Amino acid sequence: MPQENSNEMMGEEIVEQGSEELYERLAIEVDKGQEPLRIDKFLLNRVVNTSRNKIQRAIDNEMVLVNNQPIKSNYKVKPADQIIFYSDTDPVTYEIIPEKLPLNIVYEDDHILLINKPAGMVVHPGSGNFSGTLINGVAFHLREQQPDLDETKLPRFGMVHRIDKNTTGLIVLAKSELAAVKLARQFFEHTVKRRYMALVWGNFDEVEGSIEGNIGRHPRFRKLMDVFPDGDQGKHAITHYTVLEDLKYVSLVECRLETGRTHQIRVHMQHRGHPLFNDDVYGGDRVVKGTVFTKYKQFVDNCFDLCKRQALHAKTLGFIHPATGEEMLFESELADDMQAVIQKWRGYSNNAQLTSRS
């Protein structure tokens, strides 16, 4: 675990980014003695931090289910009704100022926008980052298409998931409220295909495996995340991994997310003793594996210079199109810095094997 000064240095990113999943699922069983009451009034009385408009919007978009069926706002709850309320967490509360920023748009239609995000770009405005974010650039891009666009709606229906500031790769945004609702439910129900490529420290005993452990705030360093394997704190999280290459002191792995918690891959891998290469929040920015002698440490430092961030890339994103019902699958190439550092480790690993045989 990093020292306290590292916690302070990197804390803003965690505050900005939050969990990947932007909706929460509330399950309510109506009491046996409940008198008939309109569903919107019932939810307004039972759910904290909500509003009538928010509830009505959720009902209109079939984000409120009673006994697994969508309902109208005039539905009256009955005893023993099982209510599911998918509530957006309203992650963005700052004014969105459109900015002309370079966006690597992979795919776009009337409903969705898929972007290959570079390292160093925060997804949405937050504490310390009010401009230059992905959402600022998306606001400009959409306003060019729709001059009368109301930017105040962007925080509500633009984002359906997030990736970290220094993680590269694919992110999908919604261009309509219909798309936002249907995509958000897919993310919440864990039907979205998400595969990440990560360069991590150390070697694995098994080629494939799973890491399961609740993720929540670290008990001492409140701006960091930690794993609670006993499930006493945090939220349920599962990461599946496959080792693609064993590069002597580091490994290239593919990670498949079953859940989307804050820094999930980074925290799970650190918990298993395999912090991501050059992850300065979770201990990967030092020599974790290998003897620290002059030439080796110099080699590792050169690798850090090639990839100045945690070596993590969101490579694959697959989902059902919210309007057409078509199954869509997108792939992205590894960012240049990750390709360069992986190639450098391949060379080092090959030389080490040749030396050991001679």
Catalytically active residues are 164
Q: What is the largest CA-CA distance in the chain?
A: 84
Query: Tokens at residue 194, please?
Result: 């998400």
User: What 3-state DSSP class applies to 178?
Assistant: helix
Q: Which long-range contacts link 74-79 to residues 24+ away (Cβ below 8 Å)?
A: 74/38, 74/39, 75/38, 75/39, 76/36, 76/37, 76/38, 76/39, 77/30, 77/34, 77/36, 77/37, 77/38, 77/39, 77/42, 78/30, 78/34, 78/36, 79/30, 79/31, 79/32, 79/33, 79/34
Main-chain dihedrals φ then ψ at residue 214, nearest 5 degrees = -55, 145
User: What 3-state DSSP class applies to 25?
Assistant: strand
- The 10 Å Cβ neighbour count of residue 358 is 5
Query: Tokens at residue 122, please?
Result: 């925060």
